[in-house]
C-alpha cells in the first residue's frame, strides 16, 4: 500500500469523505399516492395478513373527504374504511393517520400505524413513506413506536427501511 | 461427505436457533422492487439493499430488459452493459470480462446462478452455453463491477455476475419458446415457476439449441480440425418450501450437455464436450434476535473432453453458513463461514492421480449507517487454502512441492453518500485474490519428445502465487426525473500483481529437465471510466447511451522476446473506447428496439497450434448494429424478429472466426 500509484485515488477518497455532510430528511404530508406506497409495507408484516387487508383511515372531524381521497388511491388488496378520530379501528391491520389524531392509546397490538414524517418522528406513527423525485420510495420506521405496537417485519424488509 | 456433515450440522443449528411467531423469508425481489421503486440486490454486500445504496458499481439487467433486447444468449446481453467486454469465438462460444483483461477462458469473472457458482474450477472459466438456465426464467442479472473478494472469496476479482431466477414461493411465471433463424439456428425452451400451495413452490426449465458454426476467419489447420457445429441441452428443477413458520428450504438440481468449438487459454481452438450436473440445498431460518441464518451446500460435477487436449472430470463441493444480523438501527453485520473442496483427475499423456484443494474461509461484513445520508461498509475475508494432491505425476518437480498451503486476505470498503434523493456518490476500495486454476496448479501432466532422448514435460506449478487485484473507484449517479431516467459515471484504477502466464512455447529448466509450465508473469495496471445516461418519454420511447474507456499498462516479466511465447497480453487487448446506444419504442402490444455500438481496435494473441509461439493480431475498430421488433397478443403469445451484427455479413472481432450476421424469429407463449 505504500505504492505511489495509489496516492491519487486515496486523496480522492479522503476528499469524498470530507465532503460527506449531513442533509436533513424532507418531510412530506401523507396523501393518496404516499399512502398507496406505505401500505405495501403490509406485505412484509409477519405473520402476513390475509388479503384484502383491513385498513382504517383516521381523519380529523370534518375531514372525511381527505380520507376518501386516500381510500380511493389504495389498491384492491386493501379493504379501507374512513373513520373520524374517535371511530372504531378494531380489526384493522393498519391505521393511516391523516390528520393530527394521536392514536397511540387507541391502537391494539399488531396494528401498524402509518402517517406523515412528522407523525413518525414524533413517535405517534410507526411508519412513514418519503416518495423521492427519482420515483423511488424510502420507508421510515420509528423503532420505538413499532416495538410498542408489536408489529414485526420480514427481516429483509427491515434491513431496507430507514430506522429512527 | 463434507457436505453431508455440514448439512446435518446446519440443520441442527437452524432448528435450535429459530424463534417463533415470524416466517423465515428468502428475498422476494419482485415485491421489494415494487415497494421501493427500484431493484433490490444482495450482490454487493450480502445484505439486501436498494440498488442506489449498494457500495459497488452495479448494473442490474431486469427480465424486462432481457425481453426487450430480443437477444438469445447471456454474453450478448451482458455485452451491452458499460464496462463489459465480450470476445465471441464462435456461434456458441464467448468470453465475458468486466473492466478489461478479457482473454480466452477468462478466469477473472465469478458467475453464479442463485448463489451457486457456474464458474468451472478446472481452467477457472465460464462456459456460458453450459449454464443451465433459460432466459425466460431469469428475474434479474446483477453485474457487480470491480473486485468483491471479501464477499465472494477467491476469483471474484474483476466482478461478479449473479443470475437470479424466479422464486416459485413468490413468483408465478412461465414461457414456452421456439426460435429459428439463419445459419441453422434452432432452439426450443420451456420454463415455469409456480406456487403449488402457500408453503410449496416448484420451478423447472429445459432447453435445446443448435446452430451452424461460423465459417469465415483466419484459422490454422490445427484449428480447422476442431470445427464442428455447436449444440447444447440443459434442464433444471427446484422445489422451495416453507418448512416451518421460521424455516424455508430449497433443493435444486441441474444438468447441461454442451458440444461446441472453444478457444482455449493456450489461444487455440478445440472442440469441447461439457457435461455438468449440480445439486444444491438451501435453508434459511429467521432466528429472531440472532438474525437471518442461511445454510447453502452444493456440489458441481463436470465431465469435460477437449478434442485436441484430453478429457477428465472435476467435482466442486461448497458449504456456506451465514448469519445476517441487525444491531440497533444503524448497524448490520454478516458473518460467514465457508468450506470448499474440489478435485480433478489429472489429464494429458502421462496423467495419473488427482489434484484438488480445500479452502476454509471466514468473512465478516459490517454496514454502518453513519448518518441518514452516509453509509460506510467494510468487509474482510480470510481464505485458508491447502492443496490435496493424490498420486499425481510431478516429475521433474519433487512430489513434496505440491504440499502447499496458503492464507490470503481480501478486503472491500465502500462509502455511499446521498446528499439529495437524486444524487449518490460512491467511493470504494477492493482487494481480491485470483487463485490459480486446478490445471495451472497441477491438473495437466504430459510429455513431448523434442529430440532423440529428450522429453519436454508439461505440468502445472504448485508455487504459482494467486494474482492480487487492488482497485479504487469513485462513482456518481444522478436520477433524472425530468427524463424518467438517470445518469452515472464511474472512475476506477486497478492493479494486478502476480499476473498468471499460461503455458506457451516458453521452456523452463527444472532440475535440469526442460518443462512447459505456468508462471507468474509480472504486473498490470489499468484505469478506466464508464459513463451512461438513459431515459424514457411518456410517448413510449426509451433511450440510453454508454461510453466505456479502458487503458491497461502491462509490466510483464514474460513475452520479452520478438514473438510472444505465452498467451498473456492485456495492454491493447481491451478496446480503449466502447460506445453502446439504444432506442426503444412501445406502442400498445408492439415493442421495438434498435442498438448501435462501436468499439475501437484491439490486439489479441493467437497461436497456430498448442504450445507454439504466438502472433499478435490487430482487430480493427468496428461498428455493429442490432434490432428487434415484437408483438404480444392478448393470448400471451409473442412473435419477435431479431437481427444482430447487421451492418455486414460477417465481422472480424477476434483472431479466429468472424462473427456472422444473424436473423432469427422467436415465438413464445406465456403459461
pLDDT of residue B23: 55
CA-nearest of A80, A86, A112 to A99 is A86
The kind and range of the H/E element at B607 are none
Domains and CATH numbers, chain A: 25-163 (3.40.50)
pLDDT of residue A10: 53
Which chain A residue has its CA at the smallest distance from B286's CA? A155
Contact between chains at A40 and B34 (C-beta distance less than 8 A): yes
Instruction: Residue B27: list chain A partners with CB under 8 A.
Output: 156
pLDDT one-digit tens code per residue, B126-151: 999 999 999 999 999 999 999 999 99
Rounded to an integer, what distance in angstroms lies between the CA atom of residue B666 and that of residue B626? 15
Average pLDDT in chain A: 83
Which chain B residue has its CA at the smallest distance from A24's CA? B372
**In 10 A of CB B480, how many CB atoms?**
15
Task: Provide mean pLDDT across the span B495-503.
Answer: 96
Instruction: Report the DSSP pairing between strands B513-516 and B454-459.
Output: parallel
C-alpha separations of B364 from A118, B108, B129, B195, B323 in Å: 37, 23, 34, 35, 10
Rounded to an integer, what distance in angstroms lies between the CA atom of residue B223 and that of residue B264? 11
Instruction: Select the residue of A133, A160, A164 nearest B479 (Cβ to Cβ).
Output: A133
In this predicted structure, the answer to whether residue A16 has a pLDDT above a threshold of 50 is: no
Does B667 touch chain A if contact means CB atoms closer than 8 Å? no
Rounded to an integer, what distance in angstroms lies between the CA atom of residue B235 and that of residue B254? 6
Contact between chains at A132 and B422 (C-beta distance less than 8 A): yes
pLDDT of residue B1: 46
Number of domains present in the structure of chain B: 1
Three-class secondary structure of residue B74 per DSSP? helix
pLDDT over 70, % of chain A: 82
Minimal CA separation from B325 to chain A, in Å:
9
Instruction: Residue B370: list chain A partners with CB under 8 A.
Output: 20
Cell output for B77: 446481453
pLDDT of residue B138: 97
Rounded to an integer, what distance in angstroms lies between the CA atom of residue B310 and that of residue B288? 52
Task: Provide mean pLDDT across the span B182-200.
Answer: 96
Q: Who's near A17: CB < 8 A, 6+ residues apart?
A: B415, B427
Minimal CA separation from B525 to chain A, in Å:
9
Three-class secondary structure of residue B402 per DSSP? helix
CA dihedral B436, B437, B443, B446 (to 10 degrees): -80
Rounded to an integer, what distance in angstroms lies between the CA atom of residue B311 and that of residue B314? 10
pLDDT one-digit tens code per residue, B197-235: 989 999 999 999 999 999 999 899 999 999 999 999 999
Does A152 touch chain B if contact means CB atoms closer than 8 Å? yes
CA-nearest of B229, B207, B34 to B135 is B207
Q: Are B612 and B567 in contact (CB under 8 A)?
A: no
Q: Which single residue is written with the C-alpha cell 453485520?
A: B333
**In 10 A of CB B483, how many CB atoms?**
14
Supply the DSSP symbol for B11: H
Rounded to an integer, what distance in angstroms lies between the CA atom of residue B259 and that of residue B196? 35
Question: Quick one: CA dihedral B92, B98, B103, B109, positive or negative?
Answer: negative
pLDDT of residue A101: 82
- Chain B residues 439-478 with CB within 8 Å of chain A: 470, 472, 474
Three-class secondary structure of residue B553 per DSSP? strand
Rounded to an integer, what distance in angstroms lies between the CA atom of residue B111 and that of residue B115? 9
* Paired strand residues for B453: none
CA atoms within 13 A on the CB side of B246: 20
C-alpha separations of B291 from A132, B6, B16, B136, B480 in Å: 30, 20, 13, 33, 37
CA angle (B472, B474, B479) in 5-degree steps: 150
- Please report, for the domain that includes residue B545, its CATH number: 2.40.170.20
pLDDT of residue A7: 60
Q: Among A158, A160, A162, A164, which would you mutate to test the B interface (most chain B Cβ atoms within 10 Å of its Cβ)?
A: A160
Supply the DSSP symbol for B440: I
B281 vs B1, more confident: B281
How far the first Cα of chain B sits from its last, in Å, is 40
pLDDT over 70, % of chain B: 96
pLDDT of residue A13: 47
**In 10 A of CB B7, how many CB atoms?**
16
**In 10 A of CB A156, how many CB atoms?**
23
Task: Provide mean pLDDT across the span B632-649.
Answer: 97
- Which residue blocks in chain A are alpha helix, DSSP H? 7-19, 32-38, 64-73, 117-122, 143-148, 155-158
Rounded to an integer, what distance in angstroms lies between the CA atom of residue B381 and that of residue B470? 15
In this predicted structure, the answer to whether residue B541 has a pLDDT above a threshold of 50 is: yes
3-class SS letters over B488-546: EEEEEEEEEECCEECCCCCEEEECCEEEECCEECEEEEEEEEEEEEEEECCCCEEEEEE
Residue B124: domain span: 2-670
Q: What is the DSSP string of B113-168?
A: ETTEE-SBTTTTB--GGGS---GGGEEEEEEEES--HHHH-TT-SSEEEEEEEPPT
Minimal CA separation from B23 to chain A, in Å:
6
Does B484 touch chain A if contact means CB atoms closer than 8 Å? yes
Rounded to an integer, what distance in angstroms lies between the CA atom of residue B477 and that of residue B487? 6
Cell output for B200: 410449496
B10 vs B271, more confident: B271
pLDDT over 90, % of chain B: 92
Average pLDDT in chain B: 94
Task: Provide mean pLDDT across the span B595-615.
Answer: 95
Task: Provide mean pLDDT across the span B388-406.
Answer: 95
Instruction: Report the DSSP pairing between strands B454-459 and A127-131.
Output: unpaired
pLDDT range class, residue B261, cuts 50, 70, 90:
very high
Q: With 0-12 CB in 10 A as exposed, 13-18 as middle and 19+ as buried, what is B178? A: middle
Peptide bond between residue B590 and the one before it cis (omega within 30 degrees of 0): no
Q: Are A129 and A37 in contact (CB under 8 A)?
A: yes
Minimal CA separation from B268 to chain A, in Å:
35
CA dihedral B512, B390, B107, B381 (to 10 degrees): -110
Q: What is the DSSP string of B245-267?
A: SSEEEEEEEEEEEEEEEEE-TTS
Instruction: Residue B326: list chain A partners with CB under 8 A.
Output: 155, 158-159
Rounded to an integer, what distance in angstroms lies between the CA atom of residue B282 and that of residue B295? 6
pLDDT of residue B545: 98
pLDDT of residue A5: 52
Q: Are B508 and B517 in contact (CB under 8 A)?
A: yes
Does A135 touch chain B if contact means CB atoms closer than 8 Å? yes
In this predicted structure, the answer to whether residue B18 has a pLDDT above a threshold of 90 is: no
Cell output for A143: 423503532
- Chain A residues 11-30 with CB within 8 Å of chain B: 12-13, 16-17, 19-23, 25-26
Instruction: Report the DSSP pairing between strands B159-165 and B109-113.
Output: parallel
pLDDT of residue B7: 43
Contact between chains at B23 and A155 (C-beta distance less than 8 A): no
**In 10 A of CB B482, how many CB atoms?**
8
pLDDT of residue A135: 86
C-alpha separations of B183 from A160, B249, B655 in Å: 48, 44, 21
pLDDT one-digit tens code per residue, B438-469: 999 999 999 999 889 889 999 999 999 999 99
- Chain A residues 36-65 with CB within 8 Å of chain B: 37, 40-41, 43-44, 46-48
Q: Who's near B381: CB < 8 A, 6+ residues apart?
A: B149, B150, B151, B153, B336, B361, B362, B363, B364, B409, B410, B411
Supply the DSSP symbol for B217: B
Cell output for A104: 397511540
Cell output for B282: 438451501
CA A154 to chain centre: 15
pLDDT one-digit tens code per residue, B545-557: 999 999 999 999 9
Which chain A residue has its CA at the smallest distance from B29's CA? A156
pLDDT of residue B608: 93
CA dihedral B559, B565, B570, B576 (to 10 degrees): 100
Three-class secondary structure of residue B611 per DSSP? coil
pLDDT range class, residue A11, cuts 50, 70, 90:
low
pLDDT of residue A28: 46
Which chain A residue has its CA at the smallest distance from B289's CA? A155
Q: Residue A104 — φ and ψ, nearest 5°? A: -50, -45
In this predicted structure, the answer to whether residue A114 has a pLDDT above a threshold of 80 is: yes
Instruction: Residue B369: list chain A partners with CB under 8 A.
Output: 162
B289 vs B346, more confident: B346
How far the first Cα of chain A sits from its last, in Å, is 38
pLDDT of residue A1: 42
Q: What is the DSSP string of chain A?
A: ---GGGHHHHHHHHHHHHH----PPPP----HHHHHHHGGGGGGEESPPPSSEEEEEEE-TT-HHHHHHHHHHS-TTEEEEEEETTS--TT-SEEEE-SS---TTTPPTTPEEE--HHHHHHTS-SEEEEE-TTS-EEEEE-HHHHHHTT-EE-HHHHTTSEE-
Does B36 touch chain A if contact means CB atoms closer than 8 Å? yes
Instruction: Select the residue of B37, B373, B484 nearest A137 (Cβ to Cβ).
Output: B37
CA-nearest of B193, B204, B73 to B130 is B73
Count how many residues are written for chain A: 164
Amino acid at each position: 500500500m505504500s505504492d505511489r500509484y495509489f496516492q491519487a485515488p486515496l486523496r480522492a477518497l479522503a476528499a469524498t469523505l470530507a465532503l460527506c455532510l449531513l442533509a436533513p430528511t424532507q418531510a412530506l404530508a401523507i396523501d393518496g399516492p404516499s399512502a398507496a406506497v406505505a401500505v405495501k409495507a403490509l406485505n412484509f408484516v409477519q405473520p402476513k395478513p390475509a388479503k384484502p387487508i383491513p385498513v382504517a383511515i383516521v381523519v380529523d372531524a370534518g375531514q372525511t373527504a381527505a380520507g376518501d381521497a386516500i381510500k380511493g388511491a389504495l389498491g384492491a388488496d386493501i379493504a379501507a374504511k374512513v373513520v373520524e378520530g374517535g371511530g372504531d379501528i378494531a380489526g384493522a391491520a393498519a391505521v393511516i393517520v391523516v390528520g393530527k389524531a394521536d392514536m397511540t392509546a387507541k391502537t391494539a397490538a399488531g396494528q401498524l400505524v402509518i402517517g406523515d414524517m412528522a407523525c413518525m418522528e414524533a413517535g405517534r406513527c410507526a411508519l412513514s413513506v418519503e416518495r423521492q423525485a427519482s420515483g423511488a420510495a424510502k420507508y421510515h420506521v420509528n423503532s420505538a413506536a413499532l416495538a410498542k405496537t408489536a408489529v414485526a417485519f420480514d427481516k429483509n424488509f427491515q434491513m431496507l427501511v430507514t430506522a429512527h | 461427505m463434507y457436505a453431508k456433515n455440514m448439512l446435518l450440522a446446519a440443520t441442527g443449528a437452524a432448528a435450535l436457533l429459530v424463534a417463533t411467531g415470524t416466517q423465515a423469508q428468502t428475498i422476494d425481489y419482485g415485491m421489494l422492487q415494487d415497494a421501493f421503486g427500484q431493484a433490490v440486490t444482495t450482490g454487493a454486500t450480502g445484505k439486501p439493499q436498494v440498488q442506489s445504496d449498494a457500495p459497488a458499481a452495479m448494473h442490474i439487467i431486469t427480465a424486462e430488459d432481457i425481453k426487450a433486447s430480443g437477444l438469445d444468449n447471456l454474453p450478448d446481453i451482458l455485452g451491452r452493459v458499460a464496462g463489459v467486454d465480450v470476445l465471441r469465438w464462435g456461434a456458441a462460444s464467448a468470453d465475458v470480462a468486466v473492466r478489461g483483461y478479457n482473454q480466452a477462458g477468462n478466469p477473472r469473472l465469478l458467475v453464479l446462478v442463485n448463489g451457486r457458482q457456474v464458474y468451472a474450477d478446472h481452467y477457472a472459466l465460464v462456459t456460458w452455453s453450459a449454464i443451465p438456465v433459460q432466459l425466460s426464467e431469469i428475474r434479474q442479472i446483477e453485474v457487480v463491477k470491480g473486485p468483491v473478494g471479501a464477499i465472494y472469496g477467491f476469483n471474484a476479482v474483476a466482478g461478479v455476475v449473479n443470475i437470479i431466477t424466479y422464486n416459485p414461493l413468490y413468483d408465478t411465471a412461465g414461457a414456452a419458446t421456439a426460435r429459428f433463424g439463419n445459419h441453422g439456428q434452432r432452439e426450443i425452451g420451456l420454463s415455469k415457476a409456480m406456487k403449488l400451495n402457500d408453503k410449496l413452490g416448484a420451478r423447472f426449465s429445459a432447453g435445446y439449441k443448435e446452430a451452424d458454426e461460423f465459417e469465415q476467419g483466419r484459422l490454422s489447420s490445427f484449428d480447422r480440425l476442431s470445427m464442428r457445429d455447436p449444440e447444447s441441452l440443459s434442464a433444471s428443477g427446484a422445489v422451495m418450501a416453507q418448512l416451518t413458520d421460521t424455516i424455508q428450504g430449497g433443493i435444486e438440481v441441474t444438468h447441461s450437455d454442451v458440444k461446441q468449438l472453444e478457444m482455449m487459454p493456450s489461444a487455440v481452438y478445440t472442440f469441447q464436450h461439457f457435461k455438468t450436473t449440480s445439486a444444491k440445498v438451501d435453508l434459511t431460518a429467521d432466528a429472531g434476535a440472532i438474525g437471518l441464518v442461511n445454510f447453502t451446500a452444493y456440489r458441481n460435477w463436470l465431465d469435460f473432453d477437449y478434442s485436441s487436449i484430453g478429457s477428465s472430470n472435476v467435482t466442486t463441493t461448497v458449504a456456506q453458513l451465514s448469519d445476517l444480523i441487525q444491531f440497533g438501527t444503524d448497524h448490520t453485520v454478516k458473518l460467514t463461514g465457508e468450506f470448499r473442496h474440489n478435485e480433478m483427475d489429472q489429464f494429458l499423456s502421462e496423467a495419473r492421480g488427482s489434484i484438488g484443494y480445500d479452502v476454509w474461509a471466514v468473512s465478516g461484513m459490517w454496514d454502518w449507517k453513519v448518518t441518514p445520508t452516509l453509509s460506510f461498509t467494510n468487509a474482510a475475508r480470510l481464505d485458508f487454502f491447502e492443496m490435496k494432491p493424490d498420486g499425481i505425476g510431478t516429475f521433474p518437480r519433487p512430489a513434496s512441492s505440491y504440499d502447499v498451503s496458503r492464507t490470503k486476505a481480501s478486503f472491500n470498503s465502500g462509502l455511499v453518500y446521498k446528499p439529495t434523493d437524486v444524487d449518490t456518490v460512491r467511493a470504494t476500495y477492493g482487494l481480491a485474490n485470483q487463485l490459480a486454476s486446478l490445471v495451472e496448479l497441477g491438473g495437466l501432466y504430459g510429455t513431448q519428445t523434442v529430440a532423440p532422448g529428450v522429453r519436454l514435460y508439461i505440468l502445472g506449478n504448485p508455487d504459482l502465487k494467486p494474482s492480487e487485484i487492488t482497485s479504487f473507484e469513485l462513482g456518481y449517479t444522478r436520477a433524472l426525473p425530468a427524463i424518467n431516467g438517470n445518469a452515472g459515471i464511474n472512475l476506477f484504477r486497478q492493479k494486478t500483481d502476480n499476473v498468471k502466464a499460461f503455458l506457451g512455447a516458453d521452456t523452463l529448466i527444472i532440475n535440469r529437465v526442460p518443462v512447459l509450465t505456468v508462471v507468474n508473469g509480472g504486473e498490470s495496471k489499468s484505469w478506466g471510466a464508464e459513463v451512461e445516461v438513459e431515459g424514457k418519454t411518456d410517448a413510449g420511447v426509451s433511450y440510453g447511451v454508454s461510453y466505456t474507456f479502458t487503458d491497461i499498462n502491462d509490466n510483464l516479466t514474460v513475452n520479452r522476446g520478438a514473438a510472444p511465447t505465452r498467451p498473456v497480453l492485456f495492454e491493447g487487448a481491451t478496446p480503449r473506447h466502447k460506445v453502446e446506444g439504444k432506442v426503444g419504442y412501445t406502442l400498445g402490444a408492439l415493442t421495438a428496439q434498435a442498438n448501435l455500438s462501436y468499439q475501437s481496435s484491439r490486439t489479441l494473441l493467437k497461436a497456430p497450434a498448442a504450445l507454439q509461439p504466438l502472433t499478435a493480431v490487430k482487430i480493427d475498430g468496428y461498428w455493429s448494429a442490432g434490432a428487434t421488433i415484437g408483438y404480444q397478443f392478448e393470448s400471451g403469445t409473442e412473435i419477435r424478429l431479431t437481427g444482430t451484427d447487421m451492418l455486414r455479413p460477417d465481422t472480424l472481432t477476434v483472431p479466429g472466426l468472424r462473427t456472422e450476421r444473424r436473423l432469427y424469429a422467436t415465438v413464445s407463449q406465456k403459461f
